[in-house]
Structure 1
């Protein structure tokens, strides 16, 4: 059985600029097909626009409000929203209010699968 305590997972900054706390991923568990992390973005900040060639992502907003852009389409998002980001889709999220969200990736998140313009 694999269990990871939230308090024992050290946050880090990803290549896109968000602060991530890996909950279950390749760095801390024997995962094969997916990863789970908590992301936070302070009000007024944003991730750098990017895409993942291989990973499909889900964001589930736990707190806050933001503007999500996927392949040139903008939409305001808020607590309780679930967002699908297909593999290969350019995306960026901007925090109108401080954001806290879960980020699920399949295959698991990898720095090498993050691409910029």
Structure 2
């Protein structure tokens, strides 16, 4: 049985939204790759019942509406949003906005990398 899964997203500028749950057989997170063209926006606001979301903006700029607060975002901005926060996103009028959204069950992280990682006895064979 394979211990990893791989998918290709292709040109990130040509996607609108790609969800990775099925493509990567994810069991503990939902991840989507997203792109809004210049001037575009998510046409609704939403919150969640259980899932917190982490947004990682990879190119462009725009506004992130968080409980009524307009937060400017750009390449390199990362934002954690609690389940109850009402949110939406708008790309700047002059440039599109690309980002990853990672959903996980709030409070579910039991061990972080330093406590969960196991150093292998095997050296990497490049």
TM class by smaller structure: 0.7 to 0.9
Q: Compute the TM-score of the two structures, normalised by the length of structure 2.
A: 0.68
- RMSD after superposition: 1.5
1:20 aligns with 2:23: no
The alignment partner of 2:64 has SS state of: strand
1:80: which partner in 2?
A: 76
Q: Which has the higher contact order (CA 8 A, sep 6+)?
A: 1
1:32 aligns with 2:35: no
Uncovered stretches (5+) of structure 1, i.e. residues with no partner: 12-18, 108-117
Give the whole-Å Cα distance in 2 for the aligned partners of 1:2 and 1:73: 38
1:4 aligns with 2:7: yes
The alignment partner of 1:28 has SS state of: helix
Q: Compute the TM-score of the two structures, normalised by the length of structure 1.
A: 0.73
Uncovered stretches (5+) of structure 2, i.e. residues with no partner: 106-126
Largest Rg, 1 or 2: 2
Post-superposition offset of 1:103: 1.0
Post-superposition offset of 1:64: 0.6
Aligned length: 95
Larger strand fraction of residues: 1
Task: Choose the corresponding residue for 2:99, options 98, 101, 105.
Answer: 101
Give the whole-Å Cα distance in 2 for the aligned partners of 1:51 and 1:42: 23
Q: Give every structure 1 segment of 4 or more consecutive aligned residues whose post-TM-superposition deviation is greater than 4 Å.
A: none
